[in-house]
Structure 1
Amino acid sequence: MRILHCADIHLDSRMSANFDKEEAAVRRQEILGTFLDMIEEAAKAHTDHILIAGDLTDSAKVTATVRNTVLGALRDHPEMKFWYVPGNHDTGEDFLGVTEDLPDNLHVFGNDWETCSLDADGRIRLSAAAMDGTPRVGEGLSLLLNPECFNIVMLHGQAAGYHARSKAETISLSAFRGRGVDYLALGHIHSHQEGELDGRGIFCYPGCLEGRGFDECGEHGFVTLEIDEDTLRMKRHFIPFAGRCLWEIPVDVSGCADSDRMAKRIREEMDRQKAENIIHEGDLIRALLVGKIPADAEKNLLFLRRSMEKEFFHFEVEDRTGIEIDYESFRYDTSLRGEFVRLVEQAEIPEEEKAEILRCGIRELSGEVDEL
């Protein structure tokens, strides 16, 4: 038996925090396209079941395009069964705003535990419950499983002890230990994470299907399970599937005194990452400028962004540089700039504040202004 486990698709997400209106619109359609492609890929691999562990959409309200295409994709593949447990973004009793005439091959779980057989003999079972707005710390205590079966449990929430993006129902992994769980299929954490549950089972977050911001960098995709129906042994694989990846890439610009030199450093690092097949032209990149630069360095972030933006779908620059001050070089400087540096050096303020004051002051004394 082949099973696909995905979660946190967040269809119709606004994504306005990271991208302009046009980029966000493109990304919304691309994420929908990736989800539809995943279904087609699952069909080609003769997948029997698709588990969606919450947050298929970013909110309970969705566009007609998302509703029609997703429902159409499910109906186009009656050979596969889709199992859905709502998350914290798309809570409600309906599915994509629909309560009637849902596809026959779709099962939506409610707030109470429900166990379903995935095979004809009833030896592979799926148990799940939706969120109801209350913490699920002891949720496993009310779940009864047959230890002779291969037991999959599906929930959406934050496993205790694991960092998540937002406040959500807490899932206590200890509540599921020693209860005959073979695979705890989870959703909510947007990176692929898995670990041992007990001597028998594991827990797994497949992560989101596509990254939507720079807090979701790296590869994203889904997890496949292959279960031998005779021995009930399982093999699992994480499948990278995102159409585009987001990356934050540190670029050391230490010693660079102007934007031209910084741009060359950025290009060198991007070319190196491309050559090593880490990043690709269709990706979304945030270059992180690091290192220490002279206090009077000319640095234009708009110029640096535009120098590379044609190379990628999205490119931006974030400044994390520090200021390098050689106080000795100003010791006997009789100019106004020298006097300014000496006054700041003697001030009883944190070094970080000194660096910023010197950066602004020296540029002002040099007749330069920061970019608008």
Structure 2
Amino acid sequence: MIAGVLKEQPGENRVSLVPEIVKQLEKQGVTVWIEPDAGTRAYYSDESYIQAGAQIKPAGEILQQADIILSIQIPEESSWKMIPAGKVLAGIYQPLYNTALMQQWADKQLTAFSLDSVPRTTRAQSMDVLSSQANIAGYKAVLLAATSYSRYFPMFMTAAGSIAPAKVLILGAGVAGLQAIATARRLGAVVEVFDTRPAVREEVMSLGARFIEVEGAADASAAGGYAVEQSADYKQRQQEKIADSVAKADIVITTAQIPGRKAPLLIPTAMLERMKQGSVIIDLAAATGGNTSLTENNRTVVHQGVTIIGDSNLPSSMPSDASKLYAKNMYNFLQLLIKNGDLVLNFSDDIVQGACITHSGAITNERLKQAEGVKL
């Protein structure tokens, strides 16, 4: 079995495998090919891969001959069109947002595994790329907010006077939100948190934050850490509660997303205009429309003195550790596909089946089958 690692496109600094994982795969009889400079932006040199047992190969050779092709983001069109029928790809492909492309891959007879579709079960925790990368996003969101904010985070008492601590509001207490709470508290901020799931109250409070609750939320226990659609009445009460907290906040970090749908609008323009000048919003849902009405992905917007930073790929700004965690997730997933050094697709395994998006010329993912434009 040959596992090939592609160099990511500009803007993505992570790499699918790191040298220590290459070494482990080589011990299992897997040959690893790495595209030149694939790990350079994550500070893993070609030489470090060679020392781990990998071979440096041109992209064309990897695309044509590797049994499984690894890339974090979707390869550019000119690349994936070179892949012969029957080959296997694995990465984070956001299939619910890329239905047309997944159909093209199915038509091309490619087998695609998207690790963001791995079932969020206890057995699959070691393969959960969403959690490992969201942890980094939550951490970096707070640091980005701190460097963008014009005031201190902690309280200071000096001879020249006292500085009040920053007030941070975090919308969504999933993995990213919880890490954001912990990081903001370490920096000395006062933190409030809103989430539609009452079950996260204890976790929020254990980190030293205040939990804002709106009664009557729809059950989100089966949504895998994502938001779910709420009733109109609930949304109205939610907006009122959030509006009060947003108006008082110095920093707002938003994380709410719904799989396959536009991110819920939590902060409309009227609410933005009630915020204090100099306040900062970090919107981690920017790639799917954002949680504010003015969010633009990968851009910073300033509206009436409020800075809105849309960044859906903060893990790429910590590429060394992000790659290390991602590579470990990938390695654990590959253990389900490797048998005696060969690639074996065991679709009786619920994790393999859940992560598989396309196979044998068809869309196999049940959620994606319901999407518009998918052949049934």
| TM-score, normalization by structure 2 | 0.31
TM-score relative to the length of structure 1: 0.31
Larger Rg: 1
Q: Which structure has more helix as a fraction of its residues?
A: 2
